[in-house]
Amino acid sequence: MASRLAVPVLPGRLSGMRGELRDEHGRVMRDLRVSITDRCNFRCVYCLPETEEAANFYRTRFDALRNPRPAKSIPLNYEWKPKHEILRFEEIERVVRVAVSLGIQKVRVTGGEPLLRRDVAQLIAALARIPGVEDLAMTTNGFLFGEKAEALRTAGLRRVSISLDSLDRGRFQTMTGRDGLPAALAAIEQAQRLGFAPVKVNAVIIGGMNDHEIEALAEFARDRRLSLRFIEFMPLDSNRAWQRDLVVSGRTILERLRARFELVPVAGHPTETARRWAFADGSGEIGIIAPVTEPFCGHCNRLRLTADGKIRTCLFSLEEHDLRPWLREESSDEALAERLIEIVTHKEAGHRIGQPDFVQPARTMSCIGG
């Protein structure tokens, strides 16, 4: 571990801290994804499949769907981190506070499934109080949203993204491992009713699984004035069964949507991961996130903090940087800031998906934080 800086701990915001989180490629970090648990109550086929059929659906081309038979359970290809290795709320708050002092403006709370973490509204309230946090959001599967939504809103959460990979109840259960469509739909409605804005919906599109629902999902978003994000299928599943030919490209998705709807381009910030279009009648918008076929690495301004205190500079990083020693030993905020600056300096130029030397990360999306 790097040597400690002999600087006293300062209360509140860092006093006189200089510098920013800039890498050697000139990118400045403004966005921090914070995973607060590696556990999830869903078992999505593109992340943590829990049955033999789900784990191998890429290879079997959905034979299990055409010829149903009892699902055979398989062990997860991942062991949950013990509780003592998971960051405490005050540790998460400290990392966010220091990162914000170095220019981070947007914070998104993720998991696993973040609503599995007890008293999550207390963490949201603490993060919302940090001066400089301009945007505080959460990504959730929505299953537990109903019982916690009002507390989250009161605590200061302003935006929420809810996963919705299918509008068909049976297919939703096949893709997520849970009969969760009614809960997801209720969560979307409740989020809009409580004033979360915008309410975003995320759909991972997989060839042969749910790609025939692209237009229906867009119509759903249009009818309800939602922001829908279509996301390309990425190699982040626990069984390493991802296949490139099951990726439905962002270009294909857009062509199909333009054939059905009148779409108007939406100008966004250069660092946004989604290319966005609004429905011409002003009823919501769609976005396309295409990290496989149209990488946006050149303007990536994101960092990820895992639930066990590791910094990942890329979703597909093969190296993680452990902050837990800085948080649990006698180190100052300035030392932690210097460590973050050092880590970001060497952020990867980009991922290697599609290249002969691509290596899938050891941890799945559930454990990284989306």
Tens digits of per-residue pLDDT, 297-308?
657 888 999 999
Residue 111: cis peptide before it, omega within 30 degrees of 0: no
Report pLDDT digits (tens) over 26-64.
989 999 999 999 898 998 887 765 544 444 554 554 444
| Mean pLDDT lowest among 17-21, 166-170, 243-247, 357-361 | 357-361
Q: What is the residue extent of each domain of the chain?
A: 31-368
Where residue 81 falls among pLDDT bands split at 50, 70, 90? confident
Q: In whole angstroms, give the CA distance from residue 124 to residue 327.
A: 19
Q: In whole angstroms, give the CA distance from residue 127 to residue 301.
A: 20
Average pLDDT, the chain: 83
Q: What global pTM score does this model have?
A: 0.85
Contacts of 298 (CB under 8 A, 6+ apart): 25, 27, 350
Superfamily for the 31-368 domain? Aldolase class I (3.20.20.70)
pLDDT of residue 362: 62
Does an H or E element contain 205, and which?
strand 199-205
Mean pLDDT, residues 198-206 taken together: 95
Structural contact between residues 99 and 340, judged by C-beta atoms closer than 8 angstroms:
yes
Structural contact between residues 207 and 234, judged by C-beta atoms closer than 8 angstroms:
no
